[in-house]
Amino acid sequence: MIPTREILWNITALGPILLYTLMAIPFVFLAYGLARRVRMWRQGQPENRFDQLGRRLWHAILMTVLHGRIVRRRNRFGGLMHLAIFVGFVTLFIGTVIVMIEADITVPIFGVSFYRGDFYLVYKAVMNLAGLLLIGGSLAALYRRYVRRPATLETTGDDVVILAFLVVLGVQGFAVQALRMAVTDDPWGPWSFVSYPMALTLSALPESWLRAIHVANWYIHFLTNFVFLSYVAYSKMIHPFTSFANVLFRRLKPVGALDPIENIEEAEVFGAGKLEDFTWAQLLNVDACMHCGRCLEYCPTFSTGKPLRPRDVVLELAGYMADRGGIFSGELGQGENSARYRWGAGPDRALIPDVVSPAELWDCTTCGACMAQCPVYIEHVPLIVGMRRHLVLEQGEFPEEVTSVFTNLERLGSPYQFPPNQRAAWTKRLDQPVPEMAEVAARGEEVEILFWVGCLGSFDSRNQRTTVALARILQAAGIKFAILGKEESCTGDPARRIGNEYLAQMMAMQAVETLNTYNVKKVVTACPHCFNAIKNEFPQIGGNYEVIHHSQLINQLIAEGRITLDPNSALARGAVTYHDPCYLGRYNGEYDAPREALAALPGLELREMRRNRNTSFCCGGGGGRLFMEETRGTRINQARVREAIDTGAELLAAACPFCMTMFEDGIHGVGAEESFKVLDIAEIVAGSMITPNGADGAKEHGAAESEGAAPESAERPE
């Protein structure tokens, strides 16, 4: 006897008639809901996301079907749970298609049956396993929502209804199979290892009863499926479609580069003040969110109780779009805090401030932790900066503190109120002079590398110490370098991220013009914000340079033996923890160079904070936040300083002047000045150098430090 089964056993002709004719209904609902969303996305601005289709397709498969970002090394539970549900659901779907091919194509048309023998037996076992994965995964998801309840997860009615659907669909499948097998008593029954024991139990019932219950279950099973499929497009279950599309059409440009407003002098719309001002891909972004909350896990504003939660911004926009598009979204219930982003709040709201509040927009540090975590490549920061642009460029609305930043940038080329001719004031602290490009060019000479000091490194007294330290390292290594001096000006990074795109473009163009005048090829900077702007944003306006961060250069100099470190350095002793700057790490992928440079000092023991590398936790200073008051929630910099202190380290190694400023403030804020300090990588290395003339590096460093209290100190503009 060849193992197989009778398809449509116990079902009269009415069964397939209903099954196939009613099939039109879920298809109509699914197609309608999807088309409705497509219609909304098409109202967005044009943007080419159809390049490199091969790479896009492979990446989309890798990230969705193959769970590339869904299953994570840390925090496995959610990812594996999703994998179980996904594999279970997809396998069962494929199984259904196989039965359909047998029953509707190969047997009736070609008279060939393959749904038998060994294939059938393996099929049975695999389907039983898939059913278990589906039910198990869904129950695990419910357990997570009701018992584990991570703070980043907010449970809506929709979430629960979907999981209940999945569990019930799986259970129905087993019930139908067990009821059939209880009557047919197949000798190969044990291959269906879940249904088989139940079939044995059920076989104690009279056959007529079994047949009756089986029929009821069969009909309800397919009807439940149809209802579920009809519901898909009106709930977050649309995500298999939208997520795939979103990864497929994701932005392939460097994540650290914001897209400029092209041709800004002639543009008519600046930033996003209406839904339609976003690009179509950004509107797709918004619909791809399935509320997993991963964007919140390392989010500095969520973690410190501020109004901004990147997930909520996305969902606020999604709910608004659903309202505007007349899409009934199946947000059956409401989370505790999130009534505002649900469908049904009304289409006649203004994007800002009714849908997204200015407080949410201004709190963002643009650290990119949300984007690095999002499994479907939603880009929150460009959404937020787009709305900031509208506020700044169209409304002239922004935190009051920022006014002086803008006017100083406009007039003096830096966020601070210092005249440009003081930019090189720090060079007086060095024994050897630091040449300026103008002099070098006048002499007809060239330099190996241009040291881009940056505004904080030039004017802020604390960061001037880092600048001096780096210059000493460069001099000790015998590198021929120069600075721009008074010709240097801001890269435009803070202005751009605050939303003043016009000012940012002017600053960037001025900087590129200066660099091109001197035919600069290679740039080193101690500021990851300058680094990111020069590396990723200057090419947008014809500035192409090789840029390295000072931690990379220092590491290279150590590795090449061009500077010698004192293994007994008094400065580099004890436990140290390193903070990854967002604009160096997450935005530009450099995590190792600073750590390797620290590892070259044997007296240091590197301890990692819980949140490190691409899950680093922002200092709170990016996105122009350094220049704004932190009025909502608790202090981000203090949270990070506490985390650093908790490692047991006494020294925090920084690699960014913004972080430096935030941490100096944070250390005072938590009252740890006595026991804990922050030093830049350059300061640690410079202070541990054995210089060729035999001078003790640490002593010189000490001297530099006391000089650091020089009178010209930059205050945060009020």
Partner 1 sequence: MKICVTVKQVPDPNLPMQVDPATHRLVRNPDQSILDPADEYGVETALRLVEEHGGEVVVVSMGPPSAADALRRAMAMGADRAILITDEALAGSDARATARALAAVIRGEQPDLVICAIEATDAYTGMVPGMLAELLDLPQLTFARQVAVEGQTVTVHRDIEGATQVLRAQLPALLTVTASIAEPRYPSFKGVMAAKRKPIDERDLASLGLEAGAVGAAGAAERVVALEEVREEKQGQMVTDDGTGSSVEAIVAFLERIQVV
Partner 2 sequence: MTKDDAMLTGRYRIASAAAVVLGIALILLSELGGVHEVRVFGAGLISLGGIGLGVLAGLDQPRRAEWLAWVRDRRVALGMIAALVSVAPVVVAFAAALVVLPAAMGEGRSGMALLGGLIALLMLMASVGCFVLAVRAIRRAARPVTPGSPAEAGEEAA
Nearest CA to 391 out of 268, 261, 272 is that of 272
Is residue 298 part of the contact set for partner 1 (CB under 8 A)? Answer: no
395 scored as a contact of partner 1 (CB under 8 A): yes
Query: Please, what is the minimum distance in Å from the beta carbon of residue 39 to partner 2?
Result: 5
Which residues are registered as beta bridge partners of 436?
Answer: 483
Contact segment (CB under 8 A) with partner 1 among 314-322, 394-402, 541-549, 565-573 equals 394-402
List the interface residues with partner 1, window 315-334 (CB under 8 A): none
Tell me which amino acid residue 326 is.
G
Residue 706: name its binding partner from partner 2, partner 1, none (Cβ under 5 to 8 Å by kind). Answer: none
Cβ neighbour number for residue 30 with a 10 Å cutoff: 18
Smallest distance, Å, CB 161 to partner 2?
Answer: 5
- 421 versus 706: smaller Cβ distance to partner 1: 421
Kindly state the smallest distance separating residue 411's Cβ from partner 1, in Å: 5
Site string for partner 1, 567-596 (x = CB under 8 A): ------------------------------
Q: Which is nearer to partner 1, 47 or 394 (CB)?
A: 394
8 A C-beta contact, residue 572 and residue 601: yes
Of residues 32-61, those binding partner 1 (CB under 8 A): none
When the beta carbons of 29 and 538 are compared against partner 2, the nearer one is 29
Q: Please say whether the beta carbons of 128 and 192 come within 8 A.
A: yes
The reply on whether position 396 binds partner 1 by CB under 8 A is: yes
Give start and end residues of each alpha helix (H) in 477-607: 493-498, 501-517, 528-532, 550-559, 592-599
Out of partner 2, partner 1, none, which partner does residue 229 contact, by CB within 5 to 8 A per kind? Answer: none
Contact 616/586 with Cβ under 8 angstroms? yes
Q: Do β-strands 574-578 and 604-606 pair in parallel, antiparallel, or remain unpaired?
A: parallel
Task: State the Cα angle at 300 between 299 and 303, rounded to 5°.
Answer: 85
Which one of partner 1, partner 2, none is in contact with 418 (Cβ closer than 5 to 8 A by kind)? partner 1
Strand pairing report for 689-690 and 564-565: antiparallel
Q: Which listed residue (191, 270, 426, 538) binds partner 1 by CB under 8 A? A: 270
N-terminal to C-terminal alpha carbon distance within the chain: 88
Which residue, 419 or 574, has its beta carbon nearer to partner 1? 419
Largest CA distance in the chain: 105
Nearer Cβ to partner 1 (466/489): 489
Q: Which is nearer to partner 1, 397 or 643 (CB)?
A: 397
Residue that has been written with the tokens 């659903």 in this structure: 322
Binder among 278, 398, 426, 587 for partner 1 (CB under 8 A): 398
Among 400, 560, 693, 706, binds partner 1 (CB under 8 A): 400
Choose the stretch contacting partner 1; rule: CB under 8 A; options: 240-248, 444-452, 496-504, 614-622.
496-504
Q: Choose among partner 2, partner 1, none what residue 411 binds, the Cβ cut-off being 5 to 8 Å by kind.
A: partner 1
- Residues 464/426, Cβ–Cβ less than 8 Å: yes
- What is the DSSP secondary structure assignment for residue 535, as one 8-state letter? I
Instruction: Choose the contact partner of 38 out of partner 1, partner 2, none; CB within 5 to 8 A by kind.
Output: partner 2
Q: In this structure, what token pair is assigned to residue 257? A: 């580069």
Chosen from partner 1, partner 2, none, partner binding at 99 (C-beta under 5 to 8 Å by type): none
Q: Would you put residue 478 in left (φ > 0), alpha (ψ -120 to 50) or beta? A: left
Using CB under 8 A as the binding rule, whether residue 507 contacts partner 1 is answered as no
HSE of 504 in the Cβ direction (CA atoms, 13 Å)?
A: 30
Q: How far apart are CA 283 and CA 246, in angstroms?
A: 10
Look at residue 400 and give the partner it binds from partner 2, partner 1, none, a contact being a CB closer than 5 to 8 Å depending on partner kind.
Answer: partner 1
> Least distance from C-beta 391 to partner 1, angstroms?
9
How many residues lie near partner 1 (CB under 8 A)? 26
Binding at 394: pick from partner 1, partner 2, none (beta carbon under 5-8 Å per type): partner 1
Cis peptide leading into residue 353 (ω within 30°) = yes
> 391 with 426: CB under 8 angstroms?
no
Among partner 1, partner 2, none, the one that 61 touches (CB under a kind-dependent 5 to 8 A) is none
Q: Choose the one of partner 2, partner 1, none that binds residue 121, judging by a C-beta under 5 to 8 angstroms depending on kind.
A: none
Q: Closer to partner 2 by CB, 71 or 213: give it.
A: 213
Partners of residue 605 on adjacent β-strands = 575
Comparing CA positions, the residue from 216, 202, 390, 367 lying closest to residue 301 is 367
Stretch that binds partner 1, among 89-97, 355-363, 380-388, 403-411 (CB under 8 A): 403-411
List for the chain the helix, strand, coil content (%; round to 5): 55, 5, 40
CA–centroid distance for 599 within its chain: 29
d(CA 660, CA 527): 10
Please state, in angstroms and rounded to a whole number, the distance separating the CA atoms of residues 367 and 587. 8
Among candidate residues 624, 622, 619, 620, the one with its CA nearest the CA of residue 402: 624
In this complex, which beta carbon is closest to partner 2, that of residue 1 or of residue 109?
A: 109
Which one, 16 or 260, has the nearer CB to partner 2? 16
| Dihedrals phi, psi of 121, to nearest 5 degrees | -65, -45
Tell me: does residue 502 bind partner 1 (CB under 8 A).
Answer: yes
394 makes contact with partner 1 (CB under 8 A): yes
Partner touching 112 among partner 1, partner 2, none, CB below 5 to 8 Å by kind:
none
Q: What is the DSSP letter of 610?
A: S
Beta carbons within 8 Å of 485's beta carbon, 6+ residues apart: 423, 424, 436, 437, 438
Cβ atoms of 579 and 652 within 8 Å: the answer is yes
List the x/- string, 434-473, binding to partner 1 by CB under 8 A. ----------------------------------------
Establish if 262 lies at the interface with partner 1 (CB under 8 A): no
Q: Which two tokens stand for residue 137?
A: 């995964």
Q: Which stretch binds partner 1 (CB under 8 A): 59-67, 132-140, 395-403, 514-522?
A: 395-403
Shortest spacing between CB 380 and partner 2, in angstroms:
15
Site residues for partner 1 per CB under 8 A: 264-265, 270, 392-396, 398, 400, 402-403, 406-408, 411-412, 417-421, 500-502, 711
